[in-house]
Amino acid sequence: MGSLDFNLDIDNKHKTVNPLNADEFRRQGQMIIDFIADYYQNIEKYPVLSQVEPGYLQKRLPHSAPDNPESIETILQDVRKHILPGITHWQSPNYFAYFAASGSTASFLGEMLSTGFNIVGFNWLSSPAATELESIVMDWLGQVLQLPSCFLFSGSGGGVIQGTTCEAILCTLIAARDQMLRSIGKEKIGKLVVYASDQTHSALQKAAQIAGISLENFRTIKTNKSTFFSMSPDSLRVTIQSDIEKGLIPLFLCATIGTTSTTAVDPLRPLCDVAREYNIWVHVDAAYAGNACICPEFQHFLDGLEDANSFSLNAHKWLLTNLDCCCLWVKDPNALIKSLSTNPEYLKNKASDSAQVIDYKDWQIALSRRFRSLKLWLVLRSYGVRNLRTFLGRHVEMAKVFEGLVREDKMFEIVVPRNFAMVCFRIVPGAIEMGKDGVQMLPDREILANELNRRLLESINASGCIFMTHGMVGGVYFMRFAVGATLTEDHHVIMAWKVVREHANAILGMS
């Protein structure tokens, strides 16, 4: 049988197709599941970082789509032959780059259900279960995090699943902007100012540009090593006061729990104290580290959250829920709704008019939305909170092991203290002096050290054995070792350190 269930009308020379034939779906679906299962069984055989050159696929695939159907067997052969070489294997246990995108059987199955139902859940009426499950699951996760009740539907707030942090920040920034402009006048949008640290994710600047905030009014508060690169409330206050003296209007502050470069943690309570004085909306971005806060030992990082306006984390980063699943909670859902709602005639219905239901289309940028809550629901139910905490705790313990190995080696140093499951480290500036060639250090040790660490990271990643990425703070280039892949175990961490040492010795000319 071909790739779909075809019936041929020879006389009329027409082809009709049933794209949802149940028997064919069963057959092909089993093949896909087997293919993916085999992929995970053999994932360590692939180089973690794809080794292809730009434009490789254009040379391998036909220049036009086929006129006639091809079998799923043929297509999967091409996936194996042409697609797999161009994949960087984010699910590899040897993946330590960026922040991982953890996945799980429960999440995959939830995604299958969501895709299978293929609903477009823009309002309650379009699929009541999609809306109601999302509100329930967001309260479930909020309770596990011990969020203040003002962020939950069971309190006075509420939660919504966005695609990514970029969307969550944009939605809250737009809500803050419109809330401010309603009181001061739309013509003053050019005076609005957005605040962040120099470690804040670039998603905020992108959101500010989209929201019409002048690039000249985007403030980055400089951080330094003495505060472990967290934002200083005093520096924030000075910057705000300077802007007010210029006739500008403070609008929005993004604080971070677990920055991308170093997992630095901004002090929420004192930052919120400053923001409250000037009527500034505070969004807390905990995309990565917020997941760890389901564990009691990390919940103190959220102290002061009750004084913020919104909070988000990416369950698709570290909570076994595959992309995309950004959880956003807001104190005042009406602030989002006032800015993001539309009510065209073709969407009007009694349920919405009753104001007794949630229409999530008014909590996001797009109209259409997927049934994302299914996969988070399956994850929470299939593993339970206790096992999820254990899973996160194991990653933190593995990061501690790697950290210990770094500290034991005089050739390396920890650049910033570890907060969660990521270790920031580098070859020390004096390492070249340890090499057998006796190369003399240049006057600017840091420049040479940065180049040395850059070469080391490139060498490690080119090997395909492991994959890490880098960061740079205070002029210091370093490597980021982020534990977070679902399949990573202790022996992968030990092996990763051996790879680092071998490549370092090779670059330094040491035996």
Nearest CA to 478 among 434, 418, 412? 412
Report in angstroms the alpha-carbon separations of 92 from 46, 49, 423.
Answer: 9, 10, 18
* Dist CA 182 CA 201 (whole Å): 28
Average pLDDT over residues 109-138: 94
Burial of residue 216 (number of CB atoms within 10 Å: 0-12, 13-18, 19+): exposed
Q: Is 16 helix (H, G, I), strand (E, B) or coil?
A: strand
| Residue ranges of domains in the chain, CATH in brackets | 22-89 (1.20.1340.10), 108-383 (3.40.640.10)
Which two tokens mark 357? 């239901």
The whole-number pLDDT of residue 446 equals 83
The whole-number pLDDT of residue 18 equals 87
221 phi/psi in degrees, rounded to 5:
-85, 120
Nearest CA to 32 among 3, 63, 52, 1? 3
Query: Is 284 a residue whose pLDDT tops 50?
Result: yes
How many percent of the chain have pLDDT more than 70?
A: 94
Residue range 231-251, pLDDT digits in tens: 999 999 999 999 999 999 999
Which residues are bridge partners to 476 per DSSP? Answer: 473
Nearest CA to 506 among 459, 446, 450, 438? 459
Q: How many helices (H) and strands (E) does the chain have?
A: 15, 13
Query: Is 427 a residue whose pLDDT tops 50?
Result: yes
Cβ–Cβ under 8 Å, residues 285 and 328: no
* Dist CA 320 CA 384 (whole Å): 12
Query: Is 294 a residue whose pLDDT tops 60?
Result: yes
The whole-number pLDDT of residue 26 equals 94
Q: 461: Cβ–Cβ under 8 A, 6 or more apart, which residues?
A: 49, 467, 468
Residue range 368-423, pLDDT digits in tens: 999 999 999 999 999 999 999 999 999 999 999 999 999 999 999 999 999 999 99
The whole-number pLDDT of residue 17 equals 78
The whole-number pLDDT of residue 262 equals 96
Q: Confidence class of residue 430 from pLDDT cuts 50, 70 and 90?
A: confident
Average pLDDT along the chain:
93
Q: Is 159 left (phi over 0), alpha (psi -120 to 50) or beta?
A: beta
Average pLDDT over residues 166-179: 97
Residue range 4-42, pLDDT digits in tens: 444 444 444 555 678 989 999 999 999 999 999 999 999
pTM: 0.92
DSSP sequence for 136-151: HHHHHHHHHTT--GGG
- Alpha carbons within 13 angstroms on the beta-carbon side of residue 37 total 8
Burial of residue 50 (number of CB atoms within 10 Å: 0-12, 13-18, 19+): middle
